[in-house]
Amino acid sequence: MRTRMIKDSAPEAMVCIGGMEGVFAEVDMFNELGHGRPIFTLEKTGGAASLIADRKHTISIDLEVMLRLEKAADAYDDHEIDVQPYPLIMQTIVDRIAPPSKGK
């Protein structure tokens, strides 16, 4: 099932947040079938994500996400808005895969 999922959908990247044993097999398979595509991990979430941070094509984005979260929280300081990290995590990954064009 994992092989088919990676081959058929040809994802641009893999994201690891936490996870258990199965993630190791998925990372190995993605590295084999992913043609050098990045694997983003939040290693501070623990689990498999913390253990694969040093593998091939893996990019830890903990610090980058925390800086964005801090900046977003500062922007909403005067409001009673809770800034959630998951949209910032995904925006960080999207910006890494397809950076915004400079004219926009």
Task: Assign 99 a pLDDT band (cuts: 50, 70, 90).
Answer: confident
Q: Which two tokens stand for residue 12?
A: 């641009």
At 18-54, the pLDDT tens digits run 888 888 988 998 988 877 899 999 888 888 999 998 8
State residue 83's pLDDT score.
Answer: 66
Domain spans of the chain? 2-97
State residue 104's pLDDT score.
Answer: 54
At 60-80, the pLDDT tens digits run 998 888 888 888 877 777 666
State residue 40's pLDDT score.
Answer: 94
State residue 53's pLDDT score.
Answer: 86
